[in-house]
Amino acid sequence: MTGWITGAGFVLAGLVEPRPVPAMARSHPEAFARLDAEPAFLLLDARVPI
């Protein structure tokens, strides 16, 4: 999954898969259930090695 990043010469410093906040379960229960099961974002911290 991250081979294209390291293959391009970057170092993977972090990877975060954000989850919906609990308050969303009350205000948007269907969206919360979907996003809690299948997060919509993947955040990568890719850096150029020094």
Read off the pLDDT of residues 3-45 as tens digits, 9 standing for 90 and up: 999 999 999 999 999 999 999 999 999 999 999 999 889 999 9
| CA-wise closest residue to 13 among 35, 37, 41, 44 | 44
Q: Do residues 31 and 11 lie in contact, with contact meaning Cβ atoms separated by under 8 Å?
A: no
- Kindly report whether the global pTM for this prediction surpasses the value 0.85: no
> Which residues lie across from 45 on neighbouring strands?
14
Residue 9: its pLDDT value, please? 95
How far apart, in whole angstroms, are the C-alpha atoms of residue 5 and residue 39?
21
Residue 2: its pLDDT value, please? 82
Please count the other Cβ atoms lying within 10 Å of the Cβ belonging to residue 1: 7
| CA-wise closest residue to 42 among 1, 10, 9 | 1
